[in-house]
Amino acid sequence: MTSGAAARADAALSDGSLRRLIAELIVVRASGHLSDGQRRYPRWELTNRDLQHLLQEGVGGVILLGGSAPELALRTRQLQTWAGRTLLLCADVEEGVGQRFEGASWLVPPLALGRLHGRAPQRALALAEAYGRCTARDARAVGLNWVLGPVCDVNNNPANPVINVRAWGEDPATAGALAAAFIRGLQAKGVLGCAKHFPGHGDTSGDSHLELPLLGHDRARLEAVELPPFRSAIAAGVAAVMTAHLSLPALDPQRPATLSPLVLTGLLRGELGFDGLVVTDALVMEAIAAHHGAGEATVLALEAGADLVLMPADAHAAITAIAAAVASGRLSRERLEASARRRRTALASLPEQGRTEADPWQATSPDLELGRELVVATLEARGRVRPLPAGDAGVNLIRVDQALHAPFLPATAPALSAAAAAGFRPCLLAGDTASLWSGDTEAPLHLERLAEGPVLVQLFVRGNPFRGHAADQEPWPAALRQLLRAGRLAGLAVYGSPYLWQQLLPVLPPEVPAAYSPGQMPLAQHAVLTALGVERSDRGGFTD
């Protein structure tokens, strides 16, 4: 910024009402924990001191991650108190609030219902709406008034490293119908929804957390596949739409969707007729941050037609840059006021409790029942693992993407505890440093490094932001064949990716027990291991 531009920005920021107007359009990241020392991601999560300062300046929203549900209820009250007015409080809770905040309902991922929709469409639609109601009840109980979902991307590319089971379907009709049902359930219970990632992140092989993915389809293809779920979400009255950090040359050969007036103003506002809140995906993601500074990215997003800016790399720099853009005439105050009105209209649509603070946290039994019903409805299983002779032991070979980021695998998780009770000792493969891989394409496992006995294989694999494909690229078909040749494969459990399950099932002879759940949480583990006969059905609070 030149000295003249800086002076104009300073002059604009001296106008207190303009500064608060600008700040209102910023959504910053914070930990759900109360203490600074508990922050999981200090790079992105503000300290309490900085957070309190920004909220008092007028910042309009906070996205939260981490902590238990009871702690989050205290945290959201704290944030509202610091702000002294109604905030937008949101989280990425695409699989229920318990996905991010322990103690709330953690549901199977949306793609599970997409698969169910193919064989039982009415049941899938009813469950998707119940999914939305459950998410809203838990969100309101912890003080969240905005859920950053549903994902409206069509996951028609099994190699997609970041969407995968987060999508509601693998075809436009399924994705649109189920996302709309979720929105109806969510918003009927007084929580704002957000359709993402516009205009469609499903058919990409890159992760926008790490790079700018390319979606090279022409407009006719976008109209046929990518856009219909967003049209369905808009027709269902979704409160907000989140942008995608994608390059779409057919729509704008110059700018990614998040920064494109052609995409946000021309297509979303003009052609699709959406008049709710438009929010960017996080601007700290490398798809944007690698090409633009915090201030410039924010201004470009607002110029393109976004109302709210999510997680600018530097909130203070973003506010200063917007003020400079107003001072120079690049952005008008009227433009910012229109976005602020949309934000206030969205908040005004909430019931009073959604605009004040959380009730004391209390889990509700209908949510637990829904979680069980979803797991049962989406479970696939065949055969039962043979009990080990008394005194014998086997190997519980578990693959997770990253051992330090596996909230579904506490010490009491059935994948560990039930298998141990059945005589299978744990052997954990995690990250990219697994020492059991031999490099032999026909015999990829160093079986001599495993303890003796039958092997129960449990694979926790799904698309994961920041980690790409993870175990998708490992030779599990060959590894299972190797275990079969050695007479050591006791059974297979797959949690998460349907694509890995579909790849591995044909490798197994019919007599080998196998089971799959789209969910990875302990409830799903219990169901899978019960179906395989490893876990007793009368343990873990689960009955089938």
pLDDT digits (tens, 9 = 90+) for 249-283: 999 999 999 999 999 999 999 999 999 999 999 99
Predicted confidence at residue 22, as pLDDT, reads 97
Compute the distance between CA of residue 194 and CA of residue 109 in angstroms, rounded to an integer: 17
Domain boundaries, the chain: 3-359, 379-531
Q: Which fold has domain 379-531?
A: Rossmann fold (3.40.50)
Return the ∠ at Cα 213 (arms to 207 and 215), rounded to 5°.
Answer: 130
CATH class, range 3-359: alpha beta
Peptide bond just before 513 cis, omega within 30 deg: no
Predicted confidence at residue 539, as pLDDT, reads 59
Predicted confidence at residue 469, as pLDDT, reads 46
Predicted confidence at residue 505, as pLDDT, reads 96
pLDDT digits (tens, 9 = 90+) for 304-340: 999 999 999 999 999 999 999 999 999 999 999 999 9
Predicted confidence at residue 471, as pLDDT, reads 46
316 is catalytic: no
pTM over the 0.85 mark: yes
Compute the distance between CA of residue 507 and CA of residue 512 in angstroms, rounded to an integer: 10
For residues 401 and 474, the answer to whether their CB atoms sit within 8 Å is no
Predicted confidence at residue 246, as pLDDT, reads 92
Amino acid making up residue 60: G
Which two three-digit tokens encode residue 339? Answer: 């976005």
Burial class (CB in 10 A: 0-12, 13-18, 19+), 541: exposed
Compute the distance between CA of residue 397 and CA of residue 506 in angstroms, rounded to an integer: 20
For residues 162 and 196, the answer to whether their CB atoms sit within 8 Å is no
209 is catalytic: yes
Nearest to 432 by CA among 395, 481, 479, 468: 468
Predicted confidence at residue 159, as pLDDT, reads 81
Predicted confidence at residue 439, as pLDDT, reads 83
pLDDT digits (tens, 9 = 90+) for 200-241: 988 887 777 777 888 889 999 999 999 999 999 999 999 999
For residues 474 and 449, the answer to whether their CB atoms sit within 8 Å is no
Nearest to 31 by CA among 81, 70, 87, 76: 76
Residues in the chain with pLDDT values less than 50: 356, 358, 363-366, 466-471, 541-544
DSSP class of 284: T
Check 117, 197, 209, 469 and give the catalytic one: 209
Check 92, 203, 281, 401 and give the catalytic one: 281
Nearest to 269 by CA among 243, 296, 297: 243
